[in-house]
Amino acid sequence: MILQMTRASPLSFAEFAILSPMSKMDAHSLDPIPDEQFLETHDAAEGKPAGVRFLAFNTVIDIEAYGETAACQTAFEEVRALCRLYERLFSRTLPHSDIARINSAHGQPVAIDPLTYDLLERALSYCGESEGAFDITVGPAVRLWNFHEGTVPDDGALAEAVRHVDWHALRLWKTPAATAAESDADAATEAVPGFEAAPEPKACFAQLADPDAAVDAGGIAKGWIADALVAAMEAHGLSGTIVNLGGNVAVSGTKPTGDPWRVGIRDPRDPSQLIGAVPLVAGSAVTSGVYERCFTAPDGTFYHHILDPRTGRPVETDVAGVTVICEKSIDAEGFSTTLLALGLKRGLALARRHPEILQAFFIAPDGTITNAR
């Protein structure tokens, strides 16, 4: 049994970081994050919210909020620190992240942070709901593509990679953190004045049954993170918050005028333009589109980054983009990619089976919008 001092207030972020397994790593294990020092802020003025911009997850993060100046500044500092923690846990490329350690463990069990456990557990549930369109172990195929340089993998390499794509290979479990001897020693101190028994913590583990499989949380992590950042901002008593993780948008509250936030829907023919907007007071809007990371090969073939787990190639679909509105951003992200991959007919059917999908907009290549509701 673990004992702790009685306290009336919740843990601050700094205290949480001390208790997190990540904080127990040696300093050299805290992998540097590209452009980690980049930071822009602006104060509230003329009815516009205060805001912060920084880089994380290879993405520009924009957060705006209405509230007291000091509260906004404190909240901005906290969410930036949270993003550093999450990136060092969930990144596929940072060598000491939980995800990287799972992938390099050659099929052996790996102790992971409870936050990583929660992300992966929820990701597996979307794998089961996706009719094969979403698979968190698509990592072997993802590694072969380079959408920045326009690299097309060899057919043989892709065929070998997809042999190791199967989300059923990822196993998660928890065990009591304390040994029997530690529990006996703790039990002897239960009567110490000023201490109370805390819930027994669990140690979290992950294992890939296939040593050549690889986890890639990129298709779900930003939704999980957006929910966490909104919750952190809300804890500071701000009247309205909008979090934008490179197009994954989550909001809480309203503007001082009482107006909702408005989230744009991009035109697939020209992603710099909008073809519509949806109002949000609470919840999240996430868009997946074939135009987000893509290239055209010298032979004229168009390639986009949403891969079919069964082939390792860009999924063949009759829609160019899907915007999903859900109460939780992790739902919006998990379903947006799946609905795009399924195409219009199957995507509409799946969206209408899931009440957590409040709205789903399917955008055709010609800009036509079909609303699942």
pLDDT tens per residue across span 105-131: 999 999 999 999 999 999 999 999 999
| pLDDT over 90, % of the chain | 72
pLDDT at position 32 is 85
pLDDT at position 5 is 29
Residues 6+ away with beta carbon under 8 Å from 181: none
Tell me: the pLDDT tens digits for 195-216?
A: 455 566 789 999 999 999 999 9
The model's pTM: 0.84
pLDDT at position 178 is 57
Judge whether residue 16 has pLDDT over 90.
no
pLDDT at position 272 is 85
Tell me: the pLDDT tens digits for 235-274?
A: 999 999 999 998 899 999 989 999 999 998 888 888 888 8
Q: How confident is the model at residue 163 (pLDDT cuts 50, 70, 90)?
A: very high
Query: Cα separation of 118 and 170, whole Å?
Result: 13
More confident residue, 11 or 133: 133
pLDDT at position 185 is 46
Query: For residue 60, which of 83, 30, 94, 90 has the smallest C-alpha distance?
Result: 83
pLDDT at position 27 is 39
pLDDT at position 14 is 37
Query: Cα separation of 252 and 2, whole Å?
Result: 36
Query: Cα separation of 296 and 151, whole Å?
Result: 10
Q: For 96-166, list the strands marked E by DSSP.
A: 110-112
Number of alpha carbons in the 13 Å side-chain half-sphere of residue 373: 12
Query: Cα separation of 8 and 304, whole Å?
Result: 51
Helix, strand, or coil (residue 328):
coil
Phi, psi (degrees; rounded to nearest 5) at 252: -150, 135
pLDDT at position 15 is 36
Residues 6+ away with beta carbon under 8 Å from 153: 141, 144, 145, 161, 312
**Least confident stretch, 42-56, 136-150, 178-192, 206-220:** 178-192
pLDDT at position 247 is 85
pLDDT at position 266 is 85
Chain-wide mean pLDDT for the chain? Answer: 87
pLDDT at position 176 is 84
Judge whether residue 171 has pLDDT over 90.
yes
Ordered structural domains, the chain, with CATH: 3-371 (3.10.520.10)
pLDDT at position 261 is 92
Judge whether residue 91 has pLDDT over 50.
yes
| CA distances to 26, 95, 216, 240, 282 from 90, in Å | 18, 11, 9, 28, 26
pLDDT at position 133 is 93
The three-point CA angle 88-313-171 to 5° equals 45
pLDDT at position 200 is 62
How do beta strands 270-280 and 50-56 pair?
A: unpaired
More confident residue, 191 or 303: 303
pLDDT at position 268 is 82
Judge whether residue 186 has pLDDT over 60.
no
pLDDT at position 31 is 84
